[in-house]
Copies of this chain bind each other. A is one copy, B any other.
């Protein structure tokens, strides 16, 4: 503890940011109706402190344009280098607002797109540093949240009240998670670019490994979707769970007619049927959505435009903004089922969903966390899945640290992977 307290006073003396890309498009991993050839990538941030302690953070991207987010992180770096962890967390709401509401840079968002992805990468590194310190009490947690624009549905007092109430049974839930883990579902079996043969093989393997919940990418071709969904429903049987994800492919009317046809395979949810900005469109279609900031989540909840909240550790403004969303979801009694996969999203989001169960919702009904089985080998503390459940991470920090050898090899454009002509 003294080690940590001493470290909190040490200045952050440097921020390094690197463009790390994995050539996943080569095998169609991650392919969906809108993103047909993603190269899963990370904007990877390392904070150095005077004492030598490091904080690791990242945000997730799909390849091209990652350098734009790198440029945005560099623009934010001046706001963090020279401060200390103590400076930041003693007024974390203020620091959050410094990054998201700079008088000149907020024009580039505000709180959306490239600049918000960069904010997430930087703040994830701060949380990684801070996560090594002692436990946080409800007041400290509340002080991390910027309530600007959401006080009409959630005030600071209500939020504190939720956390204080959830203290009951906390230790029991911690023990439960440590022994049994948090329920997960898999998206690894049914990327859009996979052949039927691949789908079958992956489904067979997953069933053998204890998976009971499966997500299928749809949206490019209706007849093809029907065939693929039927195949998977047949493989997994009537009692297991199937979800579908259109990745923003449809207009509102398309979504309604398409989903009507796909109803025969009994999907639990339809993910991202249309534009991520279309709250009223989602209310008309009504399903599930991962939004770009707390203000969008607020309205999706107000408009009953989603039945499951999909938080994302790297699209929202880090833990700070996700805390606001978890608390609003609890208030609206909507289950949280996080988005994961990508690069490191599973590693990060497991912390958030465990926090949600232990400290906010105290409820597992209708809840599960997405899991995708790739790229974990590049992390210093990869997620542990046992019997289709996330086992709580035990290493200190926010699980963002990548292996230096992986980073070096995949750095764009000069890492070995990107220099070899066969790769791209």
Q: Which residues of A are in contact with B by a Cβ distance under 8 Å?
A: 34-39, 61-65, 67-69, 71-72, 75, 101-117, 147-152, 248, 251-253, 274-281, 284, 292-293, 295-296, 298-299, 302-303
Contacts of A75 in B (CB 8 A): 64-65, 67-68
Contact, CB under 8 Å: B251 / A277: no
Contact B68 A114 (CB under 8 A): yes
**A68-B72, A278-B149, A302-B280 known; A108 vs B113 contact (CB < 8 Å):** yes
| A277 partner, pick from B37, B151, B293, beta carbons under 8 A | B293
* A329–B68 alpha-carbon span in the complex (Å): 33
B residues near A63, Cβ cutoff 8 Å = 104
Q: Are A65 and B248 interface neighbours, CB within 8 A?
A: no
The residue of chain B having its C-beta at the shortest distance from the C-beta of A256 within the complex is B152
- Per assembly, the copies of the chain total 2
CB distance from A339 to the nearest CB of B (A): 12
* Interchain Cβ contacts under 8 Å between A and B, 21 examples: A35-B103, A35-B106, A38-B103, A61-B108, A65-B102, A67-B75, A68-B114, A68-B115, A69-B108, A72-B114, A108-B117, A112-B112, A113-B113, A148-B251, A148-B275, A149-B252, A149-B277, A151-B253, A152-B253, A152-B281, A279-B280
B103 pairs with A61, CB closer than 8 A: no
Interface core residue of A65, A75, A111, A281 (most chain B CB under 10 Å): A65
Q: Which 7 A/B pairs are nearest by Cβ-Cβ distance?
A: A113-B113, A114-B114, A64-B104, A152-B252, A149-B275, A63-B104, A65-B105
A69–B104 alpha-carbon span in the complex (Å):
13
Bound CA–CA A142/B103 (angstroms): 38
Interface centre among A36, A72, A106, A113 (most CB of B within 10 A): A113
A265 to B276, CA, bound (A): 39
Is A296 within 8 A of B280, CB to CB? no
Not counting A61-B107, A62-B107, A69-B108, a sample of 5 additional A-B residue pairs whose C-beta atoms are within 8 angstroms of each other reads A61-B108, A65-B102, A68-B71, A149-B275, A280-B299
Q: A114-B68, A114-B115, A295-B278 are in contact. Are A62 and B149 (CB under 8 A)?
A: no
- For the complex, give the distance between the alpha carbons of A103 and B39 in Å: 10
Residues of B within 8 A of A112 (CB): 112-113, 277, 292
Q: Which of B38, B279, B299 touches A104 (beta carbons < 8 Å)? A: B38
Which B residues are CB-close (under 8 A) to A293? Answer: 277
How far is A110 from B111 in the complex, measured between Cα atoms in Å? 13
Q: By the criterion CB–CB under 8 Å, are A252 and B151 in contact?
A: yes
* A36 and B103 contact, Cβ closer than 8 Å, known pairs A108-B117, A110-B276, A276-B110: yes
Chain B residues near A104 (CB, 8 Å)? 35, 37-39, 61-65
Cα of A108 to Cα of B113 in the assembled complex, Å: 5
CA–CA, A108 to B109, complex, Å? 11
Chain B contacts for A101, CB-based, 8 A: 34
Shortest distance between the CB of A375 and any CB in chain B (Å):
16
Q: Are A106 and B34 in contact (CB under 8 A)?
A: yes
Q: How far, in angstroms, from A20 to B281 measured CA to CA in the complex? A: 39
